[in-house]
Structure 1
């Protein structure tokens, strides 16, 4: 098997700490992309990938350890560089970034173009500890940085520990259910670090320094991402380096219904039919496992062997006829009687460790091998995709290794030991499906839901979910910082199981328990303001009609927020375009937009959703007091409860539901009846809202409501295209910039830019000025509005 990590030359008597106690100054060597510095024991190379992206590569002297990155897609493009040398230090500068290398020790530090410190290694911060891996010589690698006092750091993937700021914390970065190891550190100072290593890594921050300590590595390899002082700049540099996120289909923004599991095709289709009969919007239905049969020896056979799914083509066709779309669960593991297992086993492409379901016959395939990825897609295409399946639920892409059996890392992959590359498994697993579907058709955009991710995976059409979380209020609260830190690593798309996956331990009466209904209702409100709104869980059904009838509190609250989701579609789809075209971030920690407000630097209870919405989910029970979990009690709505909401400084804020305007920089008490989650809109926002509809595209020609929140100048760019193909990559899309001049009290629709087949040449906008007198919310159809007929040319309306 060929490795991306070529073996290196052995060194005699190599010390653990490769930094000399004393050495004479060395001459640096300029290179086409930066420079090299050789100390007595280290070779240090600095490579500029852009003026703001700098790679640092360190390895023991006389070691050949060239590495091809699985993560980085950009080639070095240094631009114009300047060199200087003084007092044993060499400085190499781009127009925006300075890198200083100590010629004696190999220590590297980074500064802005004006010489302001960004990040520095510790003097003796690079350590290589010799070890063996599958009999070959390698190292445990460690790099120590020194952060500034009070500097906040975020990112590192998704870790459900409740932390937003990781100063003073330790994090085990090892892929597993619930935790996503994504080695990107995001500093509140406006820079980031991508640690390009794929083995289990310990991150820690303490007074002694900030450490990345990886189990396997032939070199220290990391990238400094100079965001030039902004969080969005850091994310942009990360995506520039590792790949941009493609567009999802527009219908993915609708409501998704799922459970563990629908046991027949009639049940699956019946759920969609029931939603249509009730008039509750729905766009996605999910078919979870065992459609292949209930025998684990056929696990993930990628075929409808189950007799309760006798005609999968008819199932998919019926879902499509109901104007919905279908996702199906697939796994990286196979039972011994499945056809993929037999072919992969014959070619030695299966790992030998215990995974779920716990049976010796289920084995995970080597997704690091491109030939194995070809085989995986062959069966996926022949057995499922051919029916017109719309989306993939790639479960357990960590892949799942059951404790205490998760230490067998000696399995050999196509790229070396599993120990060496384990954290990158979800990256290569999703890449195989994305790339093969792109080759198969350009008419259906790839949409992959998966529970694990790695650096660069955003380029493979991936949405992650936070795994099989418990149905508890404290778990709901921890979803918020978990999602925000994943966003700060540069991964834009996240969601969670509405209501939590495991309710049985806390709510044995399930959906009939008012306490679970309250938790589910609040979780669903939160989900409406995340990148994907998806109901899922085991033990108890989650369909809206299981909670009661229209007119009951749980049903009506859920219907209200599903309706809100659909009204927000023009806003959400335009945000998706910002992700693809400008490296945007939908779920935003408040520090991204209000860096000058110290109160938000470690606030994990609220977030911005796009440029307009401040979201404060309700994460505590308020109306059901249940002293005994086995005895359901009715809710008590006799007194309206509330929560505290901090309104960030630097803006004024409108209550979305009432239109009341309040200044920022203060904490307010907001009442939270069961059908209200605190939502505030930043003054100056221009918010496009779509019609009430049952599915995406039902009323494509309906007027759009353009809601203006006065108090500051603002703008928003409305994006439109064909909704579900890749023609946008060829320029088939249109944008309309809307600009609000607060002093002149006028909204300008600029000339439309671009076009696409089927575009509305003329359309109607209903422009509404938000205020407390008329209220806002999702149903302001009766609010005073000015109707604007727009035909693509610049149009201005006075309010």
Structure 2
């Protein structure tokens, strides 16, 4: 009798649960429901973006996103119910919630499936430094052959990120962004800041984070890769304009040891007539390690910092300087932050007060990372940066160790208390807050100088903070060079367009000892690697030569008339001639959510052959770049160096091969030309149909470089720095064979007046059928703009016509 009663009670409970499970509550943004003891909320932010929140039934929490700045719009999706399924439909997509299983699925407006959750969300009780919370996990089902891109800057050499497990935690050479997008035109942002495992296995694709009060992710539909990037930026922030000079050439090394040496590098470039816009001063201008990051010039060899900056400016160059996320115990920022409890206690770089390797822990440095999660701490950081350096006229910031360096880490380190909770809870978002603090504070001081930050780490949303991210202290090797291309492309596909690398790789010591003068720059093996890396760097958003163990300036590689020197100069000069194209592309990035480095899937998704190509890409919408990423003239030594081993100066390998090398001997490289376009060899103007592989003859100064038919490329004047000459007679190269268009963008080049409308756009269009080029009416105005100018239009067959332009529409026929 008792067992029958128990069964009846259980049946009643199941019936009630079923009834409750099939109920939902409509909200202004979507709906709420409780299914299988899980609270579920669907919130439409825009017609193309929906937020999914899940938590244990009745769990109370507050979640304020660090990355997302968009507020929900008044979308009011149409909601209908069919059986156990509730369907929410906007103008751009559909989302369903199964009230029996709790599974959420996503569709386009045609009802075609895009993505579907698999199984129940997982919430595992977790004690986070004394706070009750959960480890959280959600699994999704993808199509078997569906490529997936993103996750940040990874060194795995992969284009599609399928079939792998990856632990996402910030590091020196890998920056993580828990965002992926698919060739099907959707993206998914997992809005969690703790260490997270991404796993793609046959049974499902999942994100699993160490801590989280809830599962919180955003699904966005853009239709294609550009559309997804646009949605991610709409959600987390748009990209501000960089100054024109930042697209010139930067010279750096670890490190210039006096202000005379720093200024001397600029002077030498000017004497040689090789273009240069930026010089970067690395660490220890502050003095010894106990004064680490003092934001003051306490090194006697930098005793006149104002003169140093003035000297650089006097040669029409700009300067960046190294700043860190940590402070030595003898610095003023340390003392103020320490008094207010705004410093962490885990081990960071440098560990010793002595400049030795390995670190001599008998003399600990006492350097500590500051709590960038605390807005007051960020203000203190800026106070010293402003007073000590910015007011001297510094042009930009090299924010090193923004992940930050977390050395010899112990599990209890993650219990470290921050302004926003445990370090474990917010670990991956550190660079977002650290970089954002400098950007926000500089913008509050002046609008006359655009913020430009070079930083080693990044998180979702950081594109809104005027920062270009480099891939960390990577080793100098061909494998490392090969890895940088998919690393930059996947990073771009997370919504952040600004990526660069240390040209030549950072640790080059293993190329040194085989040459009498001990310099890798005289070693043909390093020369070949460096030139090929520089050719890749020419077609990235920032062209910056930097590294340890050997100098990188052009004059270290020989002299004019020698093949290696000439190859370097040729690419720097090409970069400057492309500045009108690059700067106009930067406006497309800011205004129309475009990207600089474009995985081939962004423009040729219908050609499945490009879905996993990892050694070619588009630079802007016109250039197909295929860097040479394997040694052609010298042995390709297998080198494995990590960012810690690299500091050991005794690890240099002795390479004995000293055979003379003829770098002008013809070699070849194979390139795939995507289907759906006609292509021109940039160097020869030879024409090719797309959808085929071709062999390109190469020498040390030539890489495969192609231009898509229909492209209009503005070529700038020969200059020594970006703003030396006005663009009053640009050459317009028109690549016939298809209709095409281009918008030439100009403004005052280094202030925020463009945000107030102070800029011009000149639309240019090519009609292939009528063979007519139309330069449209100029839109907009700004102080100092060119009212009258000439354009020299050049076709592939050499035909040239000069067009006078006064801002009104004009056409020229060929």
Cα distance in 1 for partners of 2:15, 2:260 equals: 71
Deviations along 1:114-149, one digit per CA (max 9) or x if unpaired, are 11111110132x100001011111000000000112
Q: Report the equivalent of 1:224.
A: 219
Deviations along 1:208-259, one digit per CA (max 9) or x if unpaired, are 10000000000000000111x2110000000000000100000000000000
1:197 to 188, 192, 197: 192
3-state SS of paired residue (1:577): helix
Q: Report the equivalent of 1:535.
A: 545
Q: Report the equivalent of 1:464.
A: 469
Question: Is the CA contact 1:368–1:415 (under 8 Å) kept in the aligned structure 2?
Answer: yes
Residue 630 of structure 1 deviates from its aligned partner by 4.0
Deviations along 1:325-350, one digit per CA (max 9) or x if unpaired, are 00000000111001111110011000
Bigger mean CA deviation after superposition, 380-389 or 79-88: 79-88
Residue 701 of structure 1 deviates from its aligned partner by 4.5
Residue 634 of structure 1 deviates from its aligned partner by 2.3
Residue 638 of structure 1 deviates from its aligned partner by 6.9
Question: Is the CA contact 1:147–1:210 (under 8 Å) kept in the aligned structure 2?
Answer: yes
Question: Is the CA contact 2:717–2:727 (under 8 Å) kept in the aligned structure 1?
Answer: no
Question: Is the CA contact 1:624–1:634 (under 8 Å) kept in the aligned structure 2?
Answer: no
Distance change >3 Å, CA 487–CA 626, structure 1 → 2: closer
Is 1:321 paired with 2:314? yes
1:425 to 422, 426, 430: 430
Is 1:352 paired with 2:345? yes
Deviations along 1:580-627, one digit per CA (max 9) or x if unpaired, are 101111100001100010111000010000110000000111112488
Deviations along 1:130-178, one digit per CA (max 9) or x if unpaired, are 0101111100000000011211100010111001101111111100011
Bigger mean CA deviation after superposition, 484-493 or 626-635: 626-635
Q: Report the equivalent of 1:276.
A: 270
Aligned length: 767
Cα distance in 2 for partners of 1:556, 1:114 equals: 56
Is 1:570 paired with 2:570? no
3-state SS of paired residue (1:737): strand
3-state SS of paired residue (1:622): coil
3-state SS of paired residue (2:302): coil
Cα distance in 1 for partners of 2:412, 2:720 equals: 49
Matches within 5 A, 1:33-182: 33-124=29-120, 126-182=121-177
Is 1:30 paired with 2:26? yes
Question: Is the CA contact 1:766–1:786 (under 8 Å) kept in the aligned structure 2?
Answer: yes
Q: Report the equivalent of 2:761.
A: 735
Is 1:610 paired with 2:614? no
Deviations along 1:254-306, one digit per CA (max 9) or x if unpaired, are 0000000001111100000000000000000000000000x211000000001
Is 1:499 paired with 2:504? yes
1:593 to 603, 625, 636: 603
Is 1:336 paired with 2:332? no
Cα distance in 2 for partners of 1:262, 1:113 equals: 58
Residue 405 of structure 1 deviates from its aligned partner by 4.9
Question: Is the CA contact 1:472–1:506 (under 8 Å) kept in the aligned structure 2?
Answer: no
Question: Is the CA contact 1:34–1:78 (under 8 Å) kept in the aligned structure 2?
Answer: no
Question: Is the CA contact 1:515–1:632 (under 8 Å) kept in the aligned structure 2?
Answer: no
Distance change >3 Å, CA 58–CA 767, structure 1 → 2: same
**What is the TM-score when the length of structure 1 is the normalising length?**
0.95
3-state SS of paired residue (2:760): strand
Residue 407 of structure 1 deviates from its aligned partner by 6.0
Cα distance in 2 for partners of 1:542, 1:477 equals: 20
Residue 786 of structure 1 deviates from its aligned partner by 0.6
Cα distance in 2 for partners of 1:651, 1:638 equals: 31
Cα distance in 2 for partners of 1:189, 1:581 equals: 24
Q: Report the equivalent of 1:364.
A: 369
Distance change >3 Å, CA 411–CA 720, structure 1 → 2: same
Question: Is the CA contact 2:416–2:423 (under 8 Å) kept in the aligned structure 1?
Answer: yes
Q: Report the equivalent of 1:669.
A: 695
Q: Report the equivalent of 1:766.
A: 792
Question: Is the CA contact 1:587–1:609 (under 8 Å) kept in the aligned structure 2?
Answer: yes
Cα distance in 2 for partners of 1:272, 1:172 equals: 42
Q: Report the equivalent of 1:697.
A: 723
Q: Report the equivalent of 2:736.
A: 710
Is 1:413 paired with 2:413? no
Question: Is the CA contact 2:716–2:727 (under 8 Å) kept in the aligned structure 1?
Answer: no
Is 1:653 paired with 2:663? no
Cα distance in 2 for partners of 1:630, 1:204 equals: 43
2:295 to 278, 285, 302: 302
Distance change >3 Å, CA 791–CA 63, structure 1 → 2: same
Cα distance in 1 for partners of 2:49, 2:619 equals: 28
Is 1:479 paired with 2:484? yes
Q: Report the equivalent of 1:779.
A: none
Deviations along 1:162-213, one digit per CA (max 9) or x if unpaired, are 0110111111110001111101111110000010000000001111100000
Q: Report the equivalent of 1:786.
A: 801
Cα distance in 1 for partners of 2:665, 2:592 equals: 46
Cα distance in 1 for partners of 2:728, 2:16 equals: 74
Question: Is the CA contact 1:48–1:55 (under 8 Å) kept in the aligned structure 2?
Answer: yes
Q: Report the equivalent of 2:554.
A: 544
Q: Report the equivalent of 2:593.
A: 583
Residue 22 of structure 1 deviates from its aligned partner by 7.4
Q: Report the equivalent of 2:812.
A: 797
Cα distance in 2 for partners of 1:553, 1:78 equals: 62
Cα distance in 2 for partners of 1:20, 1:487 equals: 50
Unmatched 5+ stretches in structure 1: 1-18, 772-782
Distance change >3 Å, CA 637–CA 329, structure 1 → 2: closer
Question: Is the CA contact 2:664–2:700 (under 8 Å) kept in the aligned structure 1?
Answer: no
Q: Report the equivalent of 2:706.
A: 680
Cα distance in 1 for partners of 2:636, 2:491 equals: 34
Distance change >3 Å, CA 110–CA 624, structure 1 → 2: same
Question: Is the CA contact 1:51–1:78 (under 8 Å) kept in the aligned structure 2?
Answer: no
Q: State the superposition RMSD in angstroms.
A: 1.4
Unmatched 5+ stretches in structure 2: 1-13, 353-363, 638-653
Residue 633 of structure 1 deviates from its aligned partner by 3.3
Cα distance in 2 for partners of 1:240, 1:199 equals: 23
Cα distance in 2 for partners of 1:425, 1:296 equals: 23
Residue 447 of structure 1 deviates from its aligned partner by 0.3
Is 1:621 paired with 2:627? no
**What is the TM-score when the length of structure 2 is the normalising length?**
0.93
Question: Is the CA contact 1:396–1:451 (under 8 Å) kept in the aligned structure 2?
Answer: yes
Residue 408 of structure 1 deviates from its aligned partner by 1.4
Question: Is the CA contact 1:687–1:708 (under 8 Å) kept in the aligned structure 2?
Answer: yes
Cα distance in 2 for partners of 1:490, 1:311 equals: 41
Distance change >3 Å, CA 20–CA 483, structure 1 → 2: farther
Question: Is the CA contact 2:772–2:811 (under 8 Å) kept in the aligned structure 1?
Answer: yes
Question: Is the CA contact 1:20–1:40 (under 8 Å) kept in the aligned structure 2?
Answer: no
Cα distance in 2 for partners of 1:446, 1:727 equals: 13
Question: Is the CA contact 2:563–2:663 (under 8 Å) kept in the aligned structure 1?
Answer: no
Question: Is the CA contact 1:717–1:735 (under 8 Å) kept in the aligned structure 2?
Answer: yes
Cα distance in 2 for partners of 1:701, 1:149 equals: 51
Question: Is the CA contact 1:563–1:692 (under 8 Å) kept in the aligned structure 2?
Answer: yes
Cα distance in 2 for partners of 1:560, 1:786 equals: 26
